[in-house]
Amino acid sequence: MNNNHVTVLEIDAKAVLHNLAYFKQKLQPTTKILVVVKAFGYGSESTEIAKIVQDHVDYFAVAYSNEGIALREAGITTPILVLNPQIQNLKDIVKYRLEPNLYSFKIFDAFLKLADEEPLMNYPIHLKFNTGLNRVGFWHTDVPTIVAELKKSNNVKVESMFSHLAASEDLNEQEFTTGQINNFAYIVKQVYEHLGYQPMIHILNTSGIINYPQAQFDMVRLGIGLYGFGNDEQETTQLKNTHTLKSIISQINIVQPGETVGYNRAFVASQPTRSATIPIGHADGISRKLGNKNGFVFINNQPAPIIGNVCMDMIMVDVTKIDCNEGDEVIIFNHQQHVEYMAHKCETISYEILTALSQRIKRLVKH
């Protein structure tokens, strides 16, 4: 897509590398690191993120096979784990040398069948075990059948076994989380005893790295932390902001008392008001919940509240007290605290604010 849109998401490569280094110093020297670049790199640009960090990481993970294909087509050669493959995509997974997470017998059997037909030799696969999230994953009772199947074939090789924590950021759930970790260790032991070799094992996401350093095992999976969020105020202050969302003022209007701004006439001027129109709207990921002064942007370093309803492609902000002109730069956000504020106002989490940023917004990497 030829994208010369004036609304731009800047990705700060140095900040990304800082955040990676911050988490690396929490790891044992031998612990490997997988970087999660699903959902366009948490709303940024997955191939750019991958290029920035590829020399410093061991693995990438994506959610779906087409996200992995995009990385391969951009020349990324690092191993790529596909967390949520579907049976329909298994041929593509092999074609692009992506590594499937096989999480149920349905997809496990389908992949073993494909591996036999091709035939593949020692093709890297990953097994996910459910230890309490109850989303996708084998159950501990499945271990004997899995091992028996694997022993029949040398078409595939288990590169890793993993699980995912349900509440790693919540210290009130420490007992539950420790239980998940212990269950996982028990499952791993069963597999190790019967498989004849020892795949890598991993369970920690960003908050897991922070709160459960004793469970690093062979590898950790870093997602939101790379993008500057530690799910904890203290941790986040150690991280650098990676996403800066910018636009410009399209037009400035003066509205008189009694006049209104935007759809449904939601903002009514009680005094002469200068309103600036900015080309970003709910189709770009700016929630309608941020309208009516719930959200604000920065113009010339001063906060300008969003007035009236957020439109599909535009917002209007109050610049009565701000010295500014049409064409001036607008900062939608350039700090994690601002994103957290938006998340709070939208009753959501930073993950959703970032991943909601639509593909219409131009992406630019600052090195």
Ligand X SMILES: *Cc1c(COP(=O)(O)O)cnc(C)c1O
Residues with a known catalytic role: 38, 263
Looking at the Cβ atoms of 222 and 276, the one nearer to ligand X is: 222
In the complex, least distance from residue 274 CB atom to ligand X, rounded to whole angstroms: 40
In the complex, least distance from residue 351 CB atom to ligand X, rounded to whole angstroms: 7
Cβ 361 vs Cβ 6: under 8 Å:
no
Phi, psi at 127, each rounded to 5°: -115, 130
Cβ 46 vs Cβ 62: under 8 Å:
yes
Cβ 128 vs Cβ 138: under 8 Å:
yes
Residue of minimal CB distance from ligand X? Answer: 223
In the complex, least distance from residue 38 CB atom to ligand X, rounded to whole angstroms: 6
In the complex, least distance from residue 228 CB atom to ligand X, rounded to whole angstroms: 11
Cβ 23 vs Cβ 236: under 8 Å:
no
Cα 18 from chain centroid (whole Å): 17
Phi, psi at 35, each rounded to 5°: -105, 130
Of 81, 72, 69, which is closest to residue 35 (Cα–Cα)? 81
Calpha distance 307→298 (Å, rounded): 14
Radius of gyration, alpha carbons of the chain: 24
The two structure tokens encoding residue 22:
């911050």
Looking at the Cβ atoms of 205 and 309, the one nearer to ligand X is: 205
Looking at the Cβ atoms of 200 and 364, the one nearer to ligand X is: 200
Calpha distance 276→273 (Å, rounded): 10
- 135 known member of a binding site: yes
In the complex, least distance from residue 195 CB atom to ligand X, rounded to whole angstroms: 22
Report helix angle 174-195 to 143-151, nearest 10: 30
Bridge partners, 316 (sequence order) = 277, 307
Looking at the Cβ atoms of 155 and 160, the one nearer to ligand X is: 160
Interacting residues with ligand X (CB under 6 A): 36, 38, 83, 164, 205-206, 221-225
**240 DSSP 8-state letter:** P
In the complex, least distance from residue 162 CB atom to ligand X, rounded to whole angstroms: 7
- 312 known member of a binding site: yes
Cβ 219 vs Cβ 59: under 8 Å:
yes
Helix or strand or coil: residue 154? coil
Is-cis flag, bond preceding 119, omega within 30? yes
Looking at the Cβ atoms of 83 and 315, the one nearer to ligand X is: 83
Looking at the Cβ atoms of 79 and 281, the one nearer to ligand X is: 79
Bridge partners, 202 (sequence order) = 162, 219
Calpha distance 241→322 (Å, rounded): 25
In the complex, least distance from residue 48 CB atom to ligand X, rounded to whole angstroms: 18
Looking at the Cβ atoms of 7 and 163, the one nearer to ligand X is: 163
Task: Give 3-state DSSP helix, strand, coil % of the chain, rounded to 5.
Answer: 40, 25, 40
Binding residue numbers: 135, 312
Binding residue numbers for substrate: 135, 312
